[in-house]
Amino acid sequence: MHNILVTPGDGIGPEVIDATRRVLDWYGKNRNFAFAIEEGLVGGIAFEKTGRPDPDDTILKARRADAVLFGAVGGPQWDKLPFNQKPERGLLRLRKDLELFANLRPALCFDALKDASTLKPEIVSGLDILIVRELTGGVYFGEPKETTTLPDGQKRAVDTQVYTTSEIERIAREAFELARLRGKRVASAEKSNVMVTGVLWRQVVSKVHKEEFADVELSHVLADNCAMQLVRNPKQYDVIVTDNLFGDVLSDEAAQLTGSIGMLPSASLGAKDTNGKQYALYEPIHGSAPDIAGQGLANPIACILSLAMCLRYSFARVDDAKLLERAVERVLAEGYRTGDIMQPGMHKVGTTAMTDAILKALQSLA
């Protein structure tokens, strides 16, 4: 029995999670996938109901679960809350408390969508890159992180960028291991020209490479140059490994290459403990999209593809993951489009009809 915690959260989170639960039910009925679902509150909705965006109860449930399926958090109604009560804290606490240090963000351009990108089709067609973002360190969590008032009355705010050798080693190993299963090339992005954390990053990645992964090709790239190369010639990359903040920025950029941020899944993984247990959280990277929330318009594909990642990484169901990815490819080839990826001549649908189409494709491909 696989225990899955779903945390729908805010905005379009509940809609895309509902769609994904329908797909899970399909796997339960048709693919002998036995699972139990718990629900957890997170984000703005959790703040409304419990006074905290990151309830202890949700963290506890997440620890008990084999995998977490996360919707989205945030919305304009919570913008004015104090920093540590903002919806995003719910997600950040899950990452930190479960030590989900490895964030896998594939950017894959489906053939049917190569014209939906804002870049020329020949630049993005066939694109298949993987951003491996360090997720529990760096400037997101470094201390001090504070705002103080100076004697002259003005404010001074500090965030701290900090990395240790072991933090860099473990994310580098993750990236090299994943590269071995793909194109065997890793580009490591940092700012070693201006940041000492960047200097250490480059040294440690090089050492791990030399000692353990000499069969993989390693290159180093400055993060700003990487941002430029991603729009110039993204297909030069296979795996990009980078820190928390650069990974946040570069993965949004990579997402747009594929036509829509509504398409991209992610996995956040911890280390395996001695019993083989590995904490894992799967989430669409699009966020809560408050402007279209509650209208049945959201693209459920990113969340559904996050379930595919979950099947692959948490439950070793590689064939089932591939089946789901093929079903998504099929509905896109058939012309189904939600508003965010709509193109002339295609068949515009909402969340439910898109999910219906995916279920139908699963049924016929299975």
Which amino acids are annotated catalytic?
A: 140, 191, 224, 248, 252
Is residue 66 within 8 Å of residue 24, measured between CB atoms?
no
Per-residue buried b or exposed e for 283-301, using 16+ beta carbons within 10 Å of the residue's own CB: bbbbbbbbebbeeebbbbb
Stretch that binds ligand IPM, among 84-92, 118-126, 325-333, 338-346 (CB under 6 A): 84-92
Counting residues that bind Mg ion (by CB under 5 A) gives 1
Q: Nearer Cβ to ligand IPM, position 17 or 92?
A: 92
Of all residues in the chain, what percent are helix, strand and coil, respectively (each to 5)? 45, 20, 30
Q: Nearer Cβ to ligand IPM, position 87 or 234?
A: 87
The interface with ligand IPM within residues 279-298 (CB under 6 A) comprises 285
For the bound state, the minimum distance from the C-beta of residue 11 to Mg ion, rounded and expressed in Å, comes to 15
For the bound state, the minimum distance from the C-beta of residue 101 to ligand IPM, rounded and expressed in Å, comes to 13
Stretch that binds ligand IPM, among 59-67, 85-93, 297-305, 327-335 (CB under 6 A): 85-93
Is residue 252 within 8 Å of residue 90, measured between CB atoms?
no
For the bound state, the minimum distance from the C-beta of residue 92 to ligand IPM, rounded and expressed in Å, comes to 6
- H or E stretch including 274? none
88 is an interface residue for ligand IPM by CB under 6 A? yes
4 is an interface residue for ligand IPM by CB under 6 A? no
Distances (CA, A) of 117 to 120, 283, 300, 340, 350: 7, 22, 18, 11, 20
Distance CA 33, CA 315 (A): 10
Binding-site member from 238, 248, 325, 340 for Mg ion (CB under 5 A)? 248
Stretch that binds ligand IPM, among 21-29, 88-96, 177-185, 206-214 (CB under 6 A): 88-96
Q: Using DSSP, state whether 87 is helix, strand or coil.
A: coil
For the bound state, the minimum distance from the C-beta of residue 34 to ligand IPM, rounded and expressed in Å, comes to 30
Distance CA 181, CA 184 (A): 7
283 is an interface residue for Mg ion by CB under 5 A? no
Distance CA 14, CA 36 (A): 18
The interface with ligand IPM within residues 210-269 (CB under 6 A) comprises 248
Per partner kind, with CB cut-offs from 5 to 8 A, the member of Mg ion, ligand IPM, none near residue 91 is ligand IPM
What are the residue ranges of helices labelled H in 81-138?
Answer: 88-97, 121-124
Per partner kind, with CB cut-offs from 5 to 8 A, the member of Mg ion, ligand IPM, none near residue 88 is ligand IPM
Per partner kind, with CB cut-offs from 5 to 8 A, the member of Mg ion, ligand IPM, none near residue 280 is none
Distance CA 117, CA 205 (A): 33
Distance CA 18, CA 351 (A): 10
Helix pair 165-180, 196-212: axis angle to 10 deg: 50
Q: Nearer Cβ to ligand IPM, position 298 or 361?
A: 298
Question: Using CB under 6 A as the criterion, which residues of the chain lie in contact with ligand IPM when the complex forms?
Answer: 88, 91-92, 248, 285
Question: Using CB under 5 A as the criterion, which residues of the chain lie in contact with Mg ion when the complex forms?
Answer: 248
